[in-house]
Amino acid sequence: MKSWSGSILNDSTKSLANKPHPIRGYAYIAAATFMWGIAATLGRAAFTGRLLPSGKALQPIDPLILSQSRTTISFLVLLPILWGRRGSANLRLPAVDFGRIVLLGVLGVAASNYFYYLSIQRTNVATAIILQYTAPVVVLLYMVARGFQRPTLPRITAVGLAGVGSALAIGIAGPRGFRLDALGVGAAILAAISFAFYNVAGHQILARYDRWIVLLYTTFSAGVFWLIVNPPWKLAAAHYSGLQWEFLLVFAFVSVLAPFSFYFAGLQHLEPTRAIVASCLEPVFSIVLAALLLGESLRSIQALGIVIVLVAIVIVQLPERAGGEVTVVEPIE
C-alpha cells in the first residue's frame, strides 16, 4: 500500500509543475499573514475591552471562546454557501480522504491554536510566538529526513533567519521577553509541531482537493474539537451581548475564513518550507499593526527583526542550484 505522504507529495509535485506561480504563492501567503496580523490586533482589543472604531466599548472576551467561535462560525458560514453553489454531492469525500482532512483540522489547525493559547496562559505572548515560529525548522527537518529536499545552505540560512527575526520582532530582548515554564514551553513546542504538520499535510491534500473543500472540513473538525474542549453550555453561560457576537462574526472572517483560504491557496503554489518561512510575516504584521492602531511602541530591535524576516523570505525564494530538489518516487507496492 502506498504511503500517504509519499504518494500525495508526489501528486503535489506534479500539481506544482502544472502551476508554476511562486510569486502568486507568496502573495497569497502575505495576504493570509496580513489578515492574521489584523486578527491579532483585534484579539488584543477583545482581550482588553478596548473601544471599537464605532466608539462603543467591547466587554472583554475570553481567549478560549475567541478561538473556539472563529472556527465554528466559519464552518457554519461556509457550509451553506458551498452547499448552495455546488450541491451536497460535490461536497462528499471518500472516507479515507475525509479522515485525512479531519486529522489536518484537529492535529494541525485546532491543536496549534489550542497549544498556542495554553502557552500564552503559562508564559506570555512573546514566548508562545517565538517558540511556535520554530516550525520552519521542524518542516525543514521533516522534508530532509523524508528525502523530499536537501539541506542546502540558502534553505538552512533562510529558516534560521526567519526564527531569529521573528524572535527579535516579538521582543525576546525586551522586558517581556522569554519566560520559562515547563508546561508553557512544552505547549508552545507542540504548537510549532502542529503548525508544521498542517503546512506539510495541507500542501499534500491540496494537491487533490480545492482549498474551499479543505477549508470546509478543517473548520468542521476543528469546531468539533473545540466543542469537546469547551462544551456548548459553557459558551452559553458566558451570556455574551449582541455586540460581542457581532465582533465574533467579524473575527471569524478576519482570522479564519479569509486568511486560511489565502494560506491554502499559497500552499498550492509553494512547497512547505518556502510557505512556512513566508508565514513568519505574521508576527511582523502583528507588531506593525499594533503600533499603528493600538499605539504600542516599536523598538529598534523589533525593526531589525522585521528586516531579518524579510531577508529570510527573499533568500528562501531564490532558485535552487541543480540538485537542490529531490524527485519523489512513489514506493513500490
Q: Is residue 328 part of a domain?
A: no
Q: Is residue 196 part of a domain?
A: yes
Q: Is residue 333 part of a domain?
A: no
Q: Is residue 323 part of a domain?
A: no
Return the number of other C-beta atoms located less than 10 Å from residue 57's C-beta: 10
Q: Find the domain containing 190 and state its range.
A: 4-316
Where would I find the H helices in the chain?
4-18, 22-48, 63-86, 95-103, 111-122, 125-132, 135-145, 153-170, 182-205, 211-229, 232-237, 242-252, 258-267, 272-278, 281-293, 300-316
Q: How many domains does the chain have?
A: 1
Output phi, psi for 51, to 5 deg.
-70, 145
- At 78, is the secondary structure helix, strand, or coil? helix
Q: Give me the tens of pLDDT residue by residue for the chain, a chain 333 residues long.
A: 344 444 444 444 444 445 547 888 889 999 998 998 888 777 666 665 554 555 555 677 777 787 788 899 999 999 999 999 888 888 888 888 898 899 999 998 888 888 877 777 677 666 777 777 788 888 888 888 878 878 788 888 888 888 787 777 766 655 555 566 778 788 888 988 998 898 888 888 888 888 899 999 999 999 998 888 888 888 777 788 887 888 888 889 998 999 999 999 998 888 888 888 888 888 788 777 777 766 666 777 778 877 888 888 888 777 665 444 543 433 333
Q: Is residue 332 part of a domain?
A: no
Rounded to whole angstroms, the Cα distance separating 9 from 21 reads 18
Helix axes 22-48, 242-252, angle to 10 degrees: 160
Q: Is residue 321 part of a domain?
A: no
Q: pTM for this one?
A: 0.78
With contact defined as beta carbons under 8 Å apart, do 154 and 316 qualify?
yes
Q: Is residue 61 part of a domain?
A: yes
- Going by C-alpha positions, the residue among 136, 65, 102 that lies closest to residue 280 is 136
In the chain, the N- to C-terminal Cα span, in Å, equals: 5
With contact defined as beta carbons under 8 Å apart, do 42 and 251 qualify?
yes
- Grid cell locating 74: 466559519
Q: Is residue 324 part of a domain?
A: no
